[in-house]
Structures are given as structure tokens and as C-alpha cells.
């Protein structure tokens, strides 16, 4: 995969239901991009939502909460990608938000 759009989730079941469908629709338009949800040991039913409503989305489930940076770092260890885009679960994206980011990063490989 070229571009991993990674959500670090912790107890945001409602946000996943509300905002993940739009995110998935936008990301599927970008070749080589995939959404991955890394769950930081949620206790609110987030994993059930992922399994039942979004079975096509790769979900990484942690056995404990590793915190913000720790959770992302743990997720990155399990994802093979050239680009990592971090996004919160409560973000509503526009239809073509990802293409300009990927294009810019391709044109500026010195940036991170």
C-alpha cells in the first residue's frame, strides 16, 4: 500500500459511525490508499462497530491503551506503507481532500 490513512481510536464509537463512511468514500478514490483503524483498547463497542459496520476496514486491536503517540507508533509497526496520514475519528473530510496531500508529498519527498 502506498498511503495509509490511520485513525487511532479510543472510545469513539459514535464518531466512527458518523464520519468513517465519508472518509472511506473519499479514500477509495485514491489509488493505493487504505484506511486503517488502530483501536487503543476501547471499552465502548468501537470494535463491534468496526466488525459489524465496517468489516472491509483493517482494524488493529490493542490489548491496552498505549496513549496517543504510543498507539500510533504501535500501529505503524504493523503497517507497510510509503505515506502515513493521521486523522482523528471526529473529522469530516471533503470528497477530494486526500489527492492534493498525496500529490504534494510526492512532489516534496524531503518533507515528512
pLDDT of residue 111: 85
Share of the chain above pLDDT 70, in %: 99
Contact 42, 6 (CB under 8 A): no
- 89: Cβ–Cβ under 8 A, 6 or more apart, which residues? 7, 9, 12, 15, 16, 19, 20, 37
Which band of pLDDT confidence, cut at 50, 70 and 90, is reported for residue 112?
confident
Contact 85, 6 (CB under 8 A): yes
- pLDDT tens-digit series, residues 33-85: 999 999 999 999 999 999 999 999 999 999 999 999 999 999 999 999 999 99
Average pLDDT, the chain: 96
Amino acid at each position: 500500500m502506498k498511503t495509509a490513512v490511520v485513525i487511532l481510536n479510543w472510545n469513539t464509537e459514535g464518531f466512527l459511525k458518523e464520519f468513517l463512511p465519508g472518509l472511506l468514500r473519499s479514500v477509495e478514490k485514491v489509488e493505493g490508499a487504505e484506511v486503517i483503524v488502530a483501536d487503543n483498547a476501547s471499552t465502548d463497542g468501537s470494535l463491534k462497530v468496526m466488525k459489524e459496520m465496517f468489516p472491509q476496514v483493517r482494524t488493529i486491536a490493542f490489548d491496552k491503551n498505549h496513549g496517543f503517540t504510543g498507539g500510533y507508533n504501535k500501529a505503524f509497526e504493523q503497517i507497510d506503507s510509503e505515506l502515513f496520514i493521521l486523522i482523528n475519528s471526529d473529522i469530516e473530510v471533503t470528497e477530494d481532500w486526500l489527492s492534493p496531500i498525496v500529490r504534494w508529498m510526492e512532489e516534496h519527498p524531503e518533507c515528512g
